[in-house]
Structure 1
Amino acid sequence: MMFEGEAEAWLGIDLGTQSVRALLVAADGTVRGSGTAPLTGRRDGVRHEQDPREWWEAVCTASRAAMSQRSSRVRPGGLAVCGTSGTVLLTDAQGRPLTPGLMYDDGRAAEEAARVGMQTSWALPKALWLLDAYGPGRVTHQPDVITAQLTGGVVIPTDSSHALKTGYDAEREAWPPQLAHLGEVLPEVVRPGTRLGEVCSAAAEATGIPAGTPIVAGMTDGCAAQIASGALRPGAWNSVLGTTLVLKGASAKPVRDDAGVVYNHRAPDGSWLPGGASSVGAGALPMVADPAVLAELDGRAAAYEPSGVLTYPLASPGERFPFLAPDATAFTLGTPASEADSWAAVLQGVAFTERLCLDYLHHLGAPMDGPLTFTGGAARSAYWNQLRTDILGRPARVPEQIEPALGMAVLAAYGTRAGGISLPDVADRMVRIRTVLEPRASHTARFTEPYARLVDELETRGWLPTPLATHTRTRLNQDTIDS
């Protein structure tokens, strides 16, 4: 119940790879408080894990910072938590961790992945590996550790978004029969936006979040970023560019893909959020910490449109989207003329791959007639945003806030409000668009030839299937005729 003069806001918590982020957001999108806390991980070859206890410590730090900034008249109306897709661990019956958290890109479960016919990075193969290595335990997704702490050790259901890569059948909304042998090892599953419980007094003291604050089932970080972009009506797409590239869209029905490259999350209202994750991205760029240096490199890259070299900028070996090629590696054709030329080649190579992803979605028959939004850390680069818009040849929007934590605040508002208001309607009120970009036709034309060359090279190497290459060339030729 709200008292006179109080204003309501919602808390979104994002469990990232390198940090936890908390945002307290009002109904009009105003940020009332924010906080961050770093996370560390352990890498050893294909292995990547984190200590789940550190997740909770970071959530406490970030949440206390966010809550301390709010006015005394701002009351949190609810919260939701997102995590990295495919991160999994084993816990006991009270949600206490029994194992490390195997991260979204951990590749140790190759044998298990082959046995169940999934990508190595997905959660189910890693869960099977954990059960074999550590013995009995409850399969748990990253945000479930936090919600268990927030509710005081009450084991509550997981959401269908995080459960997707553990083999959950989002269409039937049930665990498939072939996983029946796992029995109670697998958690109960609910749709995102479902009310799970409330913050207990001990968690309130640790986090600064008032006791009794409702907790709503969240989604994966990619879906959270999509909600934060407002790309929730059929035909709308969000391109999340950070270390790697993720495309998420909205559709009234699932987008079918026999290759398993595109998968479909179930939206809170029962519609579908198809998408895929590539291994190209800003992770292929040299590490530059100084924003001034980044801006200078971007400015110098503008002199190389197109670059004198062609780069396929994988951030890590293997490709997942727009094609599946575990043996794919990064490559550069030619010798760059300068550091700026090399920088430009990576920026352009990411945008070429982004265009190929959109071509693949079109090939599958996905709805593509809605707006395109850019989010992710790379969306802070004004030059890269315009370059991507030019290469894609379509308008793009950039929101004020590009944080998955904002998406979780929107979802919390949706899950705790009465009256049947839709998630897209809530997002329309809370997501603020900062910039609208238009493609420059003359610039788009400059990149036609290098894009076609990249398609040819990927097909020649045996990574890009010929039907997709042919479809891409057909679209490219049609665009050239139309222009």
Structure 2
Amino acid sequence: MSADGDVWVGIDLGTQSVRVLAVSGSGEVLGSGTAALESHRDGPRHEQDPARWWRAARDACAGALAGLAGRRVGGVAVDGTSGTVLLVDAADGRPLTAGLMYDDTRAAGYTDRVNEAGAQVWASLGYRRMQPAWALPKLLWLLDEHPDLVGRATLAHQADVINRALVGGPVPTDLSNALKTGADLIHETWPVDVLDKLGVPERLLPGLVRSGTPIGTVCAEAAALTGLPEGTPVIAGCTDGCAAQLGAGALAVGSWNSVLGTTLILKGVTAELLADPLGVVYSHKSPDGRWLPGGASSTGAGAIARQFPGRDLDELGATAAEFEPAGVLAYPLASARGERFPFVAPDAEAFVLGSPRDDRELYAAMLQGISYIERLCFDYLASLGAPVDGDLLLTGGGTRSAYWCQLRADVLGRPVKLPASAEPALGMAVLAATPGRAPADVAAEMVRIRTVIEPHPAAAGRFDEPYRRLVGELARRGWLPADTAALVAGRAS
């Protein structure tokens, strides 16, 4: 049990800002700070200045700790955007290149080469193929763009830059951020043979540790700039997505965090690594050695924004309960084309079957359609052998609609929990408190649940028929594999 007076600090490196929370052992937010970041975008290019990451982190940290002088800080942890990499000077950690952000796709031409060289390893890890925006293709691009740096550079992820500045010296990288750079999470090593084939020198690679591992202490220089006491333990962090899962408290086997924002993202906990024949689920490693599988769908609230720009959604939602189920069936997508989870279909397009009477019915049908895809995701995960019967924690902008939360509970046929706060910085505060303790126990103390929503008894079975119809339509169009459709449809019978 952590001391009552301890403060735990979480630093979240987002795309637009750095967010820092100082949190008590019981989950009370004692201080917060934010500092803006600036991106440079041009077509497939998306870069940030790594020096700005540190300036923003130290300023936000100082703001969060401004009123907490004299309080003991038990630890600090940092998360970063997944797949963001750069080269730094091996001697002093000084950034040698810009930070290539999570969605920079200039390395797309390297993806086939990466997948050919590492096919066996990527298959063993469950995701089967790397994507163009993943970090390993970007590393190859960096090495080709800057051949003069190879002899004196080290690979770094976004969080590594902050950790090195905090401790004042070299740091290992965490397995979570290293997943998209090719780390073998099963053996917790770099696949040196694969990387050698790709021309990546072993000396370029930092050490690897699990998230939640102490990697040093705050040095005097960083203490003066951040307000963190000198000697504060620095704990290896994770990606921002895993940080949000930690902040939601989804850390027990069978528990899941469903994040409904522009798109829909599911992340859960399993005791064993999932084998996914479609390669749409990939797993991070938990601090306790368990697995954190997840996937990102292209459906989500972004589809609502596309369909009803500038409309008063509260007005449309006021009558949504009158259309349960709607007379039309909708498959909403946040983007124009393409689905990623629970199936991969680059040519998938949004559709509406039938003619809605008005915008109110179309809006209700879209809410239901997104909820059906969420159910399909869970049914697919269950078909892979994933336990899905634990707590389900809903986060993201979609939770602002009380009606939609109730609808999701009804469509899924299970209770859902809404955390009081689930931001990544809170997840990093939780992670900072985990060394020597079970992460799920720490989260139980620090993550507060705002409300629990039970499915309406009268809604039992109400949405089964339209759900089966949507599954069948996705299969008929050739997007959802027929055997997968049969498995999940059987669960709705």
TM-score computed with the length of structure 1 as normaliser: 0.89
Deviation at residue 461 of structure 1 after TM alignment: 2.6
Determine the structure 1 residue equivalent to 2:231.
212
Equivalenced residues, count: 467
Deviation at residue 189 of structure 1 after TM alignment: 0.8
SS of 1:114's partner is: helix
SS of 2:338's partner is: coil
Determine the structure 1 residue equivalent to 2:300.
281
One of 68, 89, 93 as aligned partner of 1:92? 89
Deviation at residue 308 of structure 1 after TM alignment: 4.7
Deviation at residue 300 of structure 1 after TM alignment: 4.3
For 2:17 and 2:351, how far apart are their aligned partners in 1?
30
Deviation at residue 218 of structure 1 after TM alignment: 0.5
Contact 1:204 1:211 (C-alpha < 8 Å) held by counterparts: yes
Q: 1:92 to 1:202 in 2, by over 3 A?
A: same
Deviation at residue 6 of structure 1 after TM alignment: 8.0
For 1:445 and 1:282, how far apart are their aligned partners in 2?
25
SS of 1:226's partner is: helix
1:162-211 deviation line (CA, Å, top 9, x unaligned): 11111111111111121134112222110111111122233233323223
Contact 1:393 1:441 (C-alpha < 8 Å) held by counterparts: no
Alignment partner of 1:472 is 2:488: yes
Alignment partner of 1:355 is 2:375: yes
Determine the structure 1 residue equivalent to 2:124.
none
Contact 1:228 1:407 (C-alpha < 8 Å) held by counterparts: yes
Determine the structure 1 residue equivalent to 2:143.
131
Contact 1:6 1:74 (C-alpha < 8 Å) held by counterparts: no
TM-score computed with the length of structure 2 as normaliser: 0.87
In the TM superposition, 1:27-426 aligns within 5 A as: 27-70=25-68, 72-93=69-90, 94-117=92-115, 118-135=130-147, 136=150, 137-152=153-168, 154-176=169-191, 177-180=193-196, 181-182=199-200, 183-286=202-305, 293=312, 295-316=314-335, 317-334=337-354, 336-415=356-435, 420-426=436-442
* One-letter code aligned to 1:174: T
For 2:391 and 2:4, how far apart are their aligned partners in 1?
35
SS of 1:24's partner is: strand
SS of 2:318's partner is: helix
Instruction: Give the gaps of 5 or more residues in structure 2.
Output: 116-129
Q: 1:307 to 1:26 in 2, by over 3 A?
A: same
**Deviating 4+ runs (over 6 angstroms):** none
Instruction: Give the gaps of 5 or more residues in structure 1.
Output: 478-483
SS of 1:7's partner is: coil
Contact 1:83 1:143 (C-alpha < 8 Å) held by counterparts: yes
Deviation at residue 9 of structure 1 after TM alignment: 1.0
- The 10-residue stretch of structure 1 (223-232 or 294-303) with the greater mean CA deviation from structure 2: 294-303
Determine the structure 1 residue equivalent to 2:456.
440
Q: 1:253 to 1:333 in 2, by over 3 A?
A: same
Q: 1:17 to 1:381 in 2, by over 3 A?
A: farther
Q: 1:373 to 1:86 in 2, by over 3 A?
A: same
Deviation at residue 409 of structure 1 after TM alignment: 0.5
SS of 2:346's partner is: coil
For 1:197 and 1:357, how far apart are their aligned partners in 2?
39
* One-letter code aligned to 2:477: R
Deviation at residue 358 of structure 1 after TM alignment: 0.5
- The 10-residue stretch of structure 1 (163-172 or 207-216) with the greater mean CA deviation from structure 2: 207-216
* One-letter code aligned to 1:53: A
SS of 1:258's partner is: coil
For 1:311 and 1:40, how far apart are their aligned partners in 2?
37
